[in-house]
Amino acid sequence: MSKVVRLPAAAIEEPLALAFLNTLFVEDGTEIDGLSSLKDVERWYRQVAQAHANAPLLHAQAAHGLGRLRILRSTLRLALQHHVRAQATDDDARSLQNVLGAGLLAPVFGVADGRVVVEAAPQTGTFVDRLIRDIADSFVDLLNDTVPERIKRCDGEDCVLFFVDRSKAASRAWCSMRTCGNRHKAAVHYRRRQRTDKTKGN
């Protein structure tokens, strides 16, 4: 039995495309993959759907597909890292095209016995197919609706999480105040204390 991984809030509450990226995270200096089985994927997706008030859906049937999700995640992560730093290149666009490309979103028509048939519709396919389509939709919305400067990577040391900064002043620096924000505050406090102690000691 594999133990259930506790996902960071950013892997559930952020827009789907970012939440998906945030399923790979660092805890106590160790990289943790929150999607190490399709059961994990299903569980994660249910949490996301609930947080976003969508109907929970889909059952994982495809035994493969996890590999596709991992490739998608690392490709998307790399492209977004470049996007956040305003360093994206044509290579990023091309690799995104490959993993989230049009074939996935468009229906495929064919003909059988003189009738037009839908050979593949966007609403059919495996759990992973649909999930990838949802992630693609979410990523498109994110790029269309969000000023690039508002998509950020957490400033926390070691933290690899992405988030959308919805604060008024666009000054948010942490994926979560409870984790990285607090850790930073504690570190600043500790350094200040040390300096004061030293001054007092002299």
Q: Name which of 54 and 182 has its Cβ closer to Zn ion.
A: 182
Residue 35: CB minimum distance to Zn ion, A: 19
* Total chain residues near Zn ion (CB under 5 A): 6
Binding part of the chain for Zn ion, among 52-60, 99-107, 113-121, 159-167 by CB under 5 A, reads 159-167
Subset of residues 163 to 192 that bind Zn ion, contact rule: CB under 5 A? 175, 180
Alpha-carbon distance 159 to 25, whole Å?
A: 7
Q: Is 154 in the site for Zn ion (CB under 5 A)?
A: yes
Residue 109: CB minimum distance to Zn ion, A: 46
Residue 58 in contact with residue 48, Cβ under 8 Å?
Answer: no
What spatial distance separates the first Cα and last Cα of the chain, rounded to whole Å?
Answer: 57
Alpha-carbon distance 138 to 32, whole Å?
A: 23
Identified binder of Zn ion from the candidate list 13, 73, 159, 172, rule CB under 5 A: 159
Binding part of the chain for Zn ion, among 48-56, 79-87, 122-130, 160-168 by CB under 5 A, reads 160-168
Q: Which residues fall within 8 angstroms of residue 22, CB to CB, at 6 or more apart?
A: 7, 8, 10, 11, 14, 161, 162, 175
Query: How distant, in Å, are the alpha carbons of 84, 90, 101, 108 from that of 94?
Result: 17, 6, 9, 22
Q: Name which of 38 and 180 has its Cβ closer to Zn ion.
A: 180
Residue 66 identity: L
Identified binder of Zn ion from the candidate list 35, 156, 162, 172, rule CB under 5 A: 156
Q: Name which of 18 and 96 has its Cβ closer to Zn ion.
A: 18
The binding site for Zn ion (CB under 5 A) comprises: 154, 156, 159, 161, 175, 180
